[in-house]
Amino acid sequence: MSVSDGNWVDVGEDGEERDAIVPVSEPNPQPNLPDKPSLVLEVPHVSITAPPIALVETAFLASTTSLLWLASYYLSLVPWMRILFPLPIALVYLRWRGRAAWMATIVTGLLLSVLMGPYLSILFIIPYGLLGVQLGWMWRRGATWLPSIAVGTIIATFGFFFRIWLLSIFLDQDLWVYITNRITDLVQWFLGLLVNWGIVGVGVLGSVNLTAVQLVAIGVIVLSDVVYLFTVHLAGWLLLDRVGNPIPEPPHWVRVLLDEG
């Protein structure tokens, strides 16, 4: 037996090589195994910026609404600044939809409850918080001014009578009857002046009753709410377009009046 080129070779007595040649330097061949499939985890793209932005904007606009109500109340500017009260919450709805708008309304109510007390907080939520959600919902769906003003007028009128009811509970007196009685007395006094001046007859003094005065008062309240909602729509159309969230266009006659002005 001899070694040739690193292999063992079996050599017989006659010097001839035999058939048994076994390589010893090469490793034993491994069987061909199928390739193992590689495990690939595909993670879908998840935006991690939208929720923080939504929370920050909701908190910021809720605090802005609280400051508007706080400043207008203590500076006696409610008749002028009440046009702006529903707009921040409506903007939240336009940007981040209903859940964020309701969160902004609740957070605003909580802030006002801490700063000014529960009573004034409730007076903001009803009707201004509800108006903000309602206007944002209808503006996002492209509703025209007429239906959004009509629905908003219903909410604003409900808010007025809710305020009267709440004050009546605290004062233990029906303020609606009290107000209409004072209006009736004022009408009677004015008619008395007209009778003294000879403009109308004496019989007109007995034609005034409480029910008629109440109906006229309700009509005046509804008309004032219609005007208020119109001014809110006008302010929203002028302001929200500048921040990239426009509302539906006003009627043609409104655009004509603004262009002429």
Question: Total domain count for the chain?
Answer: 1
- Residue 261: predicted pLDDT: 56
Answer yes or no: is pLDDT of 140 > 90: yes
Cβ atoms of residues 131 and 155 within 8 Å? yes
In a domain, 20, yes or no: no
Q: How confident is the model at residue 31 (pLDDT cuts 50, 70, 90)?
A: low
pLDDT tens figures, 50-100? 578 888 999 999 999 999 998 888 887 767 788 999 999 999 999 998 999
Q: What is d(CA 171, CA 193) in angstroms, rounded to the nearest whole number?
A: 34
In a domain, 2, yes or no: no
Residue 253's domain comprises: 51-260
In a domain, 118, yes or no: yes
- Residue 254: predicted pLDDT: 86
In a domain, 26, yes or no: no
In a domain, 56, yes or no: yes
How many other CB atoms are found less than 10 A from the CB of residue 87? 24
How many other CB atoms are found less than 10 A from the CB of residue 27? 6
Range among 21-25, 207-211, 236-240 with highest mean pLDDT value: 236-240
Full DSSP string of 71-136: HHHHTT-HHHHTTTTTHHHHHHHHHHHHHHHHHHHHHHHHHHHHHH-HHHHHHHIIIIIHHHHHHH
Give SS3 for 252.
helix
Answer yes or no: is pLDDT of 194 > 50: yes
In a domain, 3, yes or no: no
Q: What is d(CA 97, CA 70) in angstroms, rounded to the nearest whole number?
A: 26
In a domain, 38, yes or no: no
In a domain, 167, yes or no: yes
- Which is more confident, 177 or 30? 177
